[in-house]
Structure 1
Amino acid sequence: MDDGQDPIKDLEKGFDVVVMGTGLTETILSGVMSVQGKRVLHIDSNSYYGGEGASLKMSQIYEKFRGDGSKPPAGLDKDRDWNIDLIPKFLMAGGELARILRQLKQVQDNVQFQQIAGSYVFRGSGGGFFGLGGSGVHKVPSTALEAAKSNLIGIMEKGRLKSFLESVAAYDDAKGPQHQGMNLEKDSMKSVYDKFSLEEPTRDFVGHAMALYSDDSYLELPARQTFNKIKLYAGSVAMYGKSPYIYPLYGLGELPSAFTRLSAVHGGTYMLNTEVLDFEHADDGKVSGVKIKFENPRKDGEYVDLVVKTGRVLASPNYVAEGKKKKRTGQQVVRAICVLNHPVKGTDNSDSGQIIIPQSEANRKNDIYIAVISSAHNVCPKGYWIAIVSTIVETQNPQHELKAGFELLEPIEET
């Protein structure tokens, strides 16, 4: 807002669109509409941008998850050094989201991406007949050549995996599901594995570390989707080498922040720490205004209730009554943010990586994921790593379900 204007009077003029929530979807829409010349008000009940996709300072992490007034310990208390994601997500380099973001000038000008150093899978036992791998973290092979060199699998299995990956590489989805005597729209993935005589551990890392399925339900589904997922993985690795993943410097929160800046440059108005109280409706039932509560910018400590007139509202589900009252169904995810002062064992001292513990290795129905980043991505001070462990909740003791991940990361400085 212009410092010469009364901010409240400016709000009373109304807006073409009111956007609620500053996640990536909301900020992209806000940015696009501002560029189109619409008068946009963008509000968020949080004190930070990004919603669930935000990257927070260490003090904000303590405030959000501990809420008892505790402060970060010495060595972790310099906020300027920390950008910690609430939800870990690496972008597949060849995936649709990365492709779209690379085409947007606002992202090109404001966000830099860094490659994630490696993609790994945990193996709790040896790699089959004459296997060289043993227990521990292993790099995931993505091509027939890498499979031939990998110590993740045994000598006898290397040839079978090589044949399988060559078959996947030769598949062209545009030509239909018929491929090398298989009908990938009808044949299950299990039957394809059987055709190539792949062992169970090999099926595990192909399905979970390359195709990125979190459980084994995909085995009974048509193989076409799995072939395409593996091709995407291998193609993404081929773009940059090392791993298929990329990640924005300074954290995932840089993505919504880029579009926030785009909207602001084109006249968008942003208000954090703003509560949505109610919606007003016209006679035809359409939304005509939003009642909000915010601190009076002219008088510290005084709060104002105000109805902002608008003809359109775009909102994250948690801002509307139906979203707030909606009964939680389906799967829940448990996550833990861990601070380390060492690289993860078995990753060759890598500055980053995704590690997957297949469900079969943890005696679970769902995999455990560990996303590791470091100072190379400008998210923490030098000498530290951030590891976020997550999985789908299966029991009444969610934190215990992350135990296998914690053991892999030990010693953990802070969690």
Structure 2
Amino acid sequence: MSEAEPSSYPPIDPVNFDLIIVGTGLSESVLAAAVSAVEFTSYLNSNSAYPSTTTATTSNDQHDDSNHAVIDFVQQSMLSDVEIVSCASEKENILRENSRKFNLDLGGPRALFCADKSVDLLLKSGASQYIEFKGIDASFLYEADGKLVNVPDSRAAIFKDKSLTLIEKNRLMRFLKLIQQRLAASSDNHNDSNADERAEICNISEEDLESPFVSFLEKMRLPPKIKSIIMYAIAMADCDQETNEVCEDLLKTRDGLDRLALYSSSVGRFPNAPGALIYPIYGGGELPQAFCRRAAVKGCIYVLRMPVISLLMDKVTGLYKGVKVASGQNLYSHQLILDPSFKISSQLPSSPTDYSIERLQMLSQREVKRMVARGICITRSSIKPDVSNCLLVYPPRSLYPEQLTSIRALQLGPNLAVCPSSTFILYFCTLCNDADEGKKLLQAAMNALLALPISENPDSIPIDQSENPDAKPIVLWSAVYIQKVTMGKFDCISYTPAPDGNLNYNEVLDATEKLFHQLYPHEEFFPETQSPEESMDDNGISLES
């Protein structure tokens, strides 16, 4: 940014706010929409101006800059160990000519279960008005012999599946019936927190509910193939559930059944969705966009192309006061929310006795919960003929004996408007302990499915696939990288959660709601209100067939 640019920025008015949120990721956008909904409700109920508007009339003179310590922000990438390979030859110019038609999600693979809280939140908040979805066509499980096994998600799908024996079908049917009973009991007793009573209705003991899910599946006499489908392709377990010594997140039966109930209730919720999953048309970036629009309708002020560069702290108390933006203007608020890429500079002001060094050190700390290896591939064909959009799960040890975590891959086609015609996008993701392990896992998953060139020789694989339609899809471009999942909290300054390694957004939304209640402990997360623009009509999910 040149020195001449700040003078072209128009001043921001007002300068005093209840809350400043830096960033427009999903968590930041949901939080902005939730807070603005609370402010809007307060405005309607009191028929008075917003609290932030009344304080905004206060003269800037009351904010004496000499009392503030200015600490610069440093914005660091959340991604590391990035490797990008462009595999297209000079004759293959589809990437160059259509570069603006690709909508890539660096936090992928992501999708929404039709019955999960992200869909409920879209409906409750009204953000569903600004987004459209399409159903994911199918889900597959990768077997060690290289076969892709269909994940049966309904009675009809089980009976049609030719890869299952009659005994496997009968046992799976009985097990799904148990899940349906639990789902019905949970629905009938949704106001009753007595877990024992619900368990008794479903004939599942409390001891079984607290036992490892894999043990419960064995007790139900399910064969290994069915167990693998249930644990990794439906319940979405991350690590090898068969080995207690290495799995840090052993799934309990209670949680496993809840995940199966979510999957089961997602199938058939929307007529145009063939399975349990849906995906936003134009890509995952449409989700924060929808909540941003909702926040703006409710009175949230968005300031674009105005980076926040510094933190303002009281020199005496070390308490947060506000931020400085790139134009040089100071903005003040009671609370500040930062996206997790922000850290404070190591160059602190020269008078450390004037404020609390300990508080600043807390601000620079991050709790790294885990690491996620992610990959993106652009291909010329689908991994499965006649299937455009699908989910594929590699169970632990399906690729090689040392593979201790499951790997998920989501293929998206041009009918989702995320890539031009005749191309597909594949997202890969797995949990890992370090970059080398993560990249090894992703490379094995990609090699099992795709025709990858040698990184030193992008032309090592021919582009023309017409002579052998059964060959592996050819990769035109690929990227792999490592992302740290972090959390942090500091008095009036908080951090939103980083994208995690889950397929859906539930944990991110849970953390966002928790942060909202820390800020506004007596307010409802998206209260049920109806403003004039909502009274027109439809507040449902728009799903294309």
**Taking structure 1 as the reference length, what is the TM-score of the superposition?**
0.78
Q: Structure 2: which 5+ residue stretches go unaligned?
A: 1-6, 41-49, 57-72, 190-196, 245-249, 345-360, 452-473, 479-545
| Structure 1 partner of 2:332 | 309
SS at match of 1:398: helix
1:391 to 399, 409, 430: 430
Q: Structure 1: which 5+ residue stretches go unaligned?
A: 53-63, 126-134, 295-303
Displacement after TM superposition at 1:284 (Å): 5.4
- Cα gap change, 1:162/1:96 in structure 2, threshold over 3 Å: closer, same or farther? same
Displacement after TM superposition at 1:226 (Å): 1.1
Displacement after TM superposition at 1:323 (Å): 8.0
Displacement after TM superposition at 1:309 (Å): 2.4
Contact 1:163–1:196 (CA<8 Å) still a contact in 2? no
**Aligned 1:286-365 pairs, distance under 5 A:** 286-292=319-325, 294=326, 304-321=327-344, 325-326=364-365, 329-345=368-384, 348-362=385-399, 363=401, 364-365=403-404
| CA–CA distance in structure 2, aligned partners of residues 13 and 382 of structure 1 | 47
2:185 is the counterpart of 1:122 = no
| CA–CA distance in structure 1, aligned partners of residues 437 and 252 of structure 2 | 34
Contact 1:342–1:384 (CA<8 Å) still a contact in 2? yes
SS at match of 2:267: helix
Report the residue type matching 1:76 in the other structure. L
Displacement after TM superposition at 1:397 (Å): 4.3
2:222 is the counterpart of 1:198 = yes
- Cα gap change, 1:324/1:252 in structure 2, threshold over 3 Å: closer, same or farther? farther
| Structure 1 partner of 2:541 | none
- Cα gap change, 1:196/1:397 in structure 2, threshold over 3 Å: closer, same or farther? closer
2:209 to 168, 171, 185: 185
| CA–CA distance in structure 1, aligned partners of residues 427 and 132 of structure 2 | 21
2:269 is the counterpart of 1:231 = no
| CA–CA distance in structure 2, aligned partners of residues 181 and 66 of structure 1 | 50
| CA–CA distance in structure 1, aligned partners of residues 308 and 381 of structure 2 | 41
CA RMSD of aligned residues (A): 3.4
2:16 is the counterpart of 1:24 = no
Displacement after TM superposition at 1:161 (Å): 1.9
| CA–CA distance in structure 1, aligned partners of residues 28 and 168 of structure 2 | 48
Displacement after TM superposition at 1:233 (Å): 0.5
| CA–CA distance in structure 1, aligned partners of residues 362 and 380 of structure 2 | 40
SS at match of 1:176: helix
**Aligned 1:7-406 pairs, distance under 5 A:** 7-10=9-12, 13-34=15-36, 36=40, 37=50, 74-77=93-96, 78-88=98-108, 89-105=110-126, 107-125=127-145, 135-171=146-182, 172-173=185-186, 174=189, 175-178=197-200, 179-180=202-203, 182-183=205-206, 184-217=208-241, 222-240=252-270, 241-264=273-296, 266=299, 268-272=301-305, 274-281=307-314, 285-292=318-325, 294=326, 304-321=327-344, 325-326=364-365, 329-345=368-384, 348-362=385-399, 363=401, 364-394=403-433, 396-406=436-446
Over alpha carbons, which structure has the higher Rg? Answer: 2
SS at match of 1:83: coil
The count of corresponding residues between Structure 1 and Structure 2 is 370
- Cα gap change, 1:320/1:251 in structure 2, threshold over 3 Å: closer, same or farther? same
| CA–CA distance in structure 1, aligned partners of residues 99 and 11 of structure 2 | 35
- Cα gap change, 1:399/1:216 in structure 2, threshold over 3 Å: closer, same or farther? closer
| CA–CA distance in structure 2, aligned partners of residues 17 and 384 of structure 1 | 43
Larger RCO of the pair (alpha carbons < 8 Å, separation 6+): 2
Displacement after TM superposition at 1:222 (Å): 3.8
| CA–CA distance in structure 2, aligned partners of residues 222 and 267 of structure 1 | 41
Deviations 1:233-269, CA, capped at 9 Å, x for gaps = 1111121352211111111111112233344453613
Displacement after TM superposition at 1:385 (Å): 0.6
SS at match of 2:168: helix
Range with bigger deviation, 27-36 or 88-97:
27-36
| CA–CA distance in structure 1, aligned partners of residues 152 and 280 of structure 2 | 24
| CA–CA distance in structure 2, aligned partners of residues 157 and 310 of structure 1 | 60
Range with bigger deviation, 399-408 or 215-224:
215-224
| CA–CA distance in structure 2, aligned partners of residues 6 and 93 of structure 1 | 46
Identity %: 20
- Cα gap change, 1:28/1:327 in structure 2, threshold over 3 Å: closer, same or farther? closer
| CA–CA distance in structure 2, aligned partners of residues 256 and 281 of structure 1 | 33
Contact 1:21–1:45 (CA<8 Å) still a contact in 2? no
| CA–CA distance in structure 2, aligned partners of residues 7 and 237 of structure 1 | 50
Deviations 1:57-111, CA, capped at 9 Å, x for gaps = xxxxxxx9769xxxx9731133431111111210111011111112322x23211
Deviations 1:119-138, CA, capped at 9 Å, x for gaps = 1111224xxxxxxxxx4112
- Cα gap change, 1:260/1:100 in structure 2, threshold over 3 Å: closer, same or farther? closer
| CA–CA distance in structure 1, aligned partners of residues 115 and 362 of structure 2 | 33
2:453 is the counterpart of 1:409 = no
Contact 1:45–1:274 (CA<8 Å) still a contact in 2? no
| CA–CA distance in structure 2, aligned partners of residues 255 and 388 of structure 1 | 18
SS at match of 1:209: helix
| Structure 2 partner of 1:298 | none
Report the residue type matching 1:249 in the other structure. I
Report the residue type matching 1:236 in the other structure. S
Report the residue type matching 1:209 in the other structure. A
| Structure 1 partner of 2:456 | none
Deviations 1:325-355, CA, capped at 9 Å, x for gaps = 435644211111100110113xx42111110
SS at match of 2:94: coil
